[in-house]
Amino acid sequence: MDSQDFLITQARLWEGSGERLPERPSPLRVRDGRIVAIGPAAGEGGGTPREIALPGRVLVPGLIDAHVHLELDPGLRTPAEQLAVPEAERLAGMAARAEAMLHAGITTARDCGGGGHREHALRARIDAGLARGPRLLCCGQPLTTPGGHCSFWGGEAGSRAEIEAVVSRQVGAGSDWIKLVATGGVYTPGSRARDAQFDLASMRVAVEAAARAGRSVAAHCHGTGGLGLAVQAGVRTLEHASFAGADGFGTALDADLMAEMARRELWVSPTVNAGWGRRIEDERGEPTDFFRRMAGCLRRQRDHGIRFIASTDAGIPGVAHADLVDGLLAFARYADLRPVDVLRAATSEAARALRIDDETGRLSPGLSADLLVLAGNPLEDLAVLRDPEVVVFRGQWLDRAARGALAVGGAGR
């Protein structure tokens, strides 16, 4: 169905911030891809919209995954394997993964790094209607140290001039964000997640260069030391924030640093994904050590008032791009959050963090018509998000029949 002018009636609507789902239905009108009215005014305004009655259904904003890597195939284990993928196959895989995300209800995603700005080209194709996928915010090549984590993507820099050059290159390519690799990571051979990669002065150079270009910085942070430096440097979102120490993730918690993160009103993008969900219990049904450590880490951050946004790190081994909802279910378990808090993290709060709340993240007049039609109430059970009856993106209507055309093989990659 095209996006010209339609009126949804008889459905209840959660607009993206409320504590509860209203008991009474509320009509919602879409024209030319945007929400133009909600409530009694939806039946006014001239024209003859196509009416779509959805009794018993629930409307929620489209979901946002704040940390993905479209270039990465989650079926491959190492950077070397990823880099060996032929170019045509890589591009086809990226397109299939983007389409799978949209069909799963993800209407916006921030791509947090790739090597050749291929995600920028895919973004242009999606925006032009030549490919199906979510709204993409792109970071481009992650800024890292020579030989550091993610250096295989080409964003290495050591000196001030080199840092500024890498930032300038991403801006010139059309990147919406700058990704700063503040600490080591797991995926890069020889890297240690707990180690800081840049000193404070270098991080500030990156943040200032980004700010001059009107860009914000997302900082990859595992180790507590590098995390603290990124906070001082003035980044906007903290990716992972796993407080890693010598004994692993979640073992170097720092209450003073958490208080400072909250004071600065930063957002943590914890990249809780389906893989985390598989690590909650061991074969005896007992909580794993990983669950204990990371649940403690996230709950301490929650108790300090730190703001979370939903993210998965999709593309790393075993984490499919369409599996955000499984990540949300795991996130609720680890952080001990209510469904409404998780939903906000995946809609309105994520939009605020990503500076796109004037475009999406809520159901509100003037915003893009990005929404899901659900058979149940996700504020009671997040699992109903797994199977949206309809995904609407920029006013384009994708029901189950349309989404079923996607090949099964592409949906998982």
- The yes-or-no verdict on residue 402 having pLDDT over 90 is no
Query: Are 312 and 273 contacting, i.e. CB atoms less than 8 angstroms apart?
Result: yes
Q: Alpha-carbon distance 71 to 91, whole Å?
A: 8
> Which tokens hold the place of 117?
């700005």
Phi/psi of residue 178, each to 5°? -110, 130
Q: Which residues contact 16 (CB under 8 A, 6 or more apart)?
A: 60, 61, 344, 347, 348, 361, 362, 363, 364
| Residue 306: both structure tokens together | 């730190």
- Tell me which of 3.40.1160.10, 2.30.40.10, 3.40.50.1820, 3.40.50.1980 is the CATH number of domain 5-61+362-403: 2.30.40.10
Please tell me the distance from the alpha carbon of residue 21 to that of residue 379, in angstroms, as a whole number: 7
Q: Tens digit of pLDDT for each residue in 261-281?
A: 999 999 999 999 999 999 999
Q: What are phi and psi of 350, to 5 degrees?
A: -60, -40
Could you read off the pLDDT of 80-115 as tens digits, one per residue? 999 999 999 999 999 999 999 999 999 999 999 999
For residue 61, report the phi and psi dihedrals to the nearest 5 degrees: -60, 155
Domains of the chain, by residue range, sit at 5-61+362-403, 63-353
pLDDT confidence of 407, banded at 50, 70, 90? Answer: very low
Residue 256 has pLDDT above 60, yes or no: yes
Q: Phi and psi for 409 in degrees, rounded to 5? A: -65, -40
Instruction: Give the pLDDT score at 264.
Output: 99
H-helix segments, 156-254: 160-172, 200-212, 224-233
Give the CATH number of domain 63-353. Answer: 3.20.20.140
pLDDT of 1 = 52
What is the gyration radius of the CA atoms in the chain, in angstroms? 21
Reference 67, options 99, 101, 112; nearest CA is: 112
Q: Which of 329, 285, 336, 282 is nearest to 310 (CA)?
A: 329
Between CA 166 and CA 273 the distance in angstroms is 30
Across the range 313-326, mean pLDDT stands at 98
Question: What would the pLDDT profile of 345-399 be if each residue is shown by its tens digit?
Answer: 999 999 999 999 999 999 999 999 999 999 999 999 999 999 999 999 999 999 8
Question: What average pLDDT score do residues 318-333 get?
Answer: 98
Residue where the block lists tokens 């996230």: 298
Rounded to 5 degrees, φ, ψ at 56 are 80, 0
What does the H/E/C string look like for 130-157?
Answer: CCCCCEEEECCCCEECCCCCCHHHCCEC
